[in-house]
Structure 1
Amino acid sequence: MNRRSYHRASETERREDLIAATLDCIAEFGIRGATVRQIATRAGVTGGLIRHYFAGKDQMLQAAYRQVMTGITDEAIRAATEGGDARTRLRRFIVANVTPPVTDPRTLSLWAAFISHIPLDPTFAAIHRENYLTFLEALEALLLALHAEQGRTVSREECRAHAIAVNGLIDGLWLEGTLAADLFADKGLAETALSSVEALLRLSPGELSASET
């Protein structure tokens, strides 16, 4: 007879389960509607166990927001570190930000629910700033590598300005691609993003978009 092996969840696993339950409740009920009791029920634990990991609801929301933002940022950075020349890595970075799983309606709804807390909660603001700077620095490094690969001399200040502009472009297309995915042909949004970045950076047409998207 086969016996099911017993698995005792680690501290990390329990904390991750609670964060996942928090995100599920926020997606279903919104931030105000997601109570500690609902989160405990969704996670299958007691309120007392939640207090062992989090001081209160605010701390749970902060951990959940950090996970959402880190997930978006890490997905793009991972795509840009899979090898290849600078042009290929920049292309992957851009495409990753305007295609699934980053363009996921649930991720957008969670982001929208959290975003109103940034001006009100210093911890939320710090999480947002941390992830924004991480994203910006990764993009800036990719742009510097591309210019160096192409033999162009660009100052770090100019490259930072370009990174901010490209990030704004990506954010806008991310919103469009998530809210109205049915309006775009297969890979159409990625191709638009690549050609738009070419124009913004004054690259030759096709320098990014000519390769497979």
Structure 2
Amino acid sequence: MTDGPSRRKFRREGEERRRQDLIEATLDCVAERGLQGATVRAIALRAGVTAGLIRHYFPGKEELLQAAYAAIVGRMTEQAKAALAMEGAGPRRRLAAFVAANLGPPVVDARVFSLWAGFIGRASSDPALATAHREGYLGFRDEVEALVGEVLRAEGRAAGKAELRRHAIAINAIIDGLWIEGCLAGDIFEPGELVEIAIATVEALLGLNLREEEKT
């Protein structure tokens, strides 16, 4: 009786791992061949499986590309959110750390940018991909909005939903613009220069010193 549930659990874990392997193979193919060159056959060859096995997990190439794009956007957000695990840090320092994490490795990366740009170029003609992009953008913006809300509440500043939304849109734009600069021409900037510019700009927007220790 105990073997049945154990086997089923193992199978679920194995299938999820294989699905992730197919997504990684798709990203490798897109990086090397572009979206057009990332055929089901090429992806299968890269993953070391048959095209028929891919169709067991994804109905077709479009669904596989959508899953790959969602994976890369989600990964970038999670990598930045990892910077929030700061023992004893207050809201201001957490927001500063989040901004900084979005403007350094592994988020700032030429390969990641190339993948992102390729998918974005296709979004206008692929409604499902456009939806994945919208969800990724809104998820990231929600994260920024929550962080800004924590900062302003800690300062005793009341901020309505509309104000927080505007701040989140602006901060997202600051990060996006500098992220593109860093990915495309990171060698022309001084170490930490983009992070410094981003944090200083966010500080000016909020009227706060994010790197100053909070009063306890």
The answer, yes or no, to whether TM exceeds 0.5 is yes
C-alpha distance in structure 2 between counterparts of 1:99 and 1:27, whole Å: 20
CA deviation profile, 1:85-131 (whole Å, cap 9, x unmatched): 10111011100111111001111000000002222222112111111
Q: 2:115 aligns with which of 100, 106, 110?
A: 110
Q: Percent identity?
A: 51
Report if aligned partners of 2:79, 2:107 keep a CA contact under 8 Å in 1: yes
Report if aligned partners of 1:119, 1:125 keep a CA contact under 8 Å in 2: yes
Q: Does 1:62 align with 2:63?
A: no
* Structure 1 SS opposite 2:122: coil
Worse-superposed segment, 96-105 or 119-128: 119-128
Aligned to 2:160: 155
C-alpha distance in structure 1 between counterparts of 2:153 and 2:56, whole Å: 51
Q: Does 1:201 align with 2:203?
A: no
Q: Does 1:90 align with 2:92?
A: no
Aligned to 2:180: 175
Worse-superposed segment, 165-174 or 177-186: 177-186
C-alpha distance in structure 2 between counterparts of 1:209 and 1:111, whole Å: 31
Higher helix content, 1 or 2: 2
Amino acid at match of 2:192: K
Q: 2:21 aligns with which of 5, 13, 17?
A: 17
Amino acid at match of 2:162: E
Amino acid at match of 1:71: R
Report if aligned partners of 1:195, 1:209 keep a CA contact under 8 Å in 2: no
Q: Does 1:120 align with 2:122?
A: no
CA deviation profile, 1:4-24 (whole Å, cap 9, x unmatched): xxxx98111111111111100
* Structure 1 SS opposite 2:59: coil
C-alpha distance in structure 1 between counterparts of 2:48 and 2:25, whole Å: 9
C-alpha distance in structure 2 between counterparts of 1:154 and 1:35, whole Å: 49
* Structure 2 SS opposite 1:180: helix
Task: Please report the RMSD computed on the Cα atoms of aligned residues, expressed in angstroms.
Answer: 1.8
How many positions carry a matched residue from both structures?
202
Aligned to 1:77: 81
Q: Which runs of 5+ in 1 are unaligned?
A: 1-7
Amino acid at match of 1:164: I
The Cα of 1:210 is off from its aligned counterpart by 5.5
* Structure 1 SS opposite 2:204: helix
Report if aligned partners of 1:191, 1:209 keep a CA contact under 8 Å in 2: no
The ranges of structure 1 where at least 4 consecutive aligned residues each deviate by more than 6 angstroms after the TM superposition are none
The Cα of 1:156 is off from its aligned counterpart by 2.0
Amino acid at match of 2:19: R
The Cα of 1:187 is off from its aligned counterpart by 1.3
CA deviation profile, 1:35-57 (whole Å, cap 9, x unmatched): 11111111111111111111111
Q: 1:52 aligns with which of 56, 70, 81?
A: 56
Q: 1:191 aligns with which of 189, 196, 204?
A: 196
What's the TM-score once normalised by structure 1's chain length?
A: 0.89
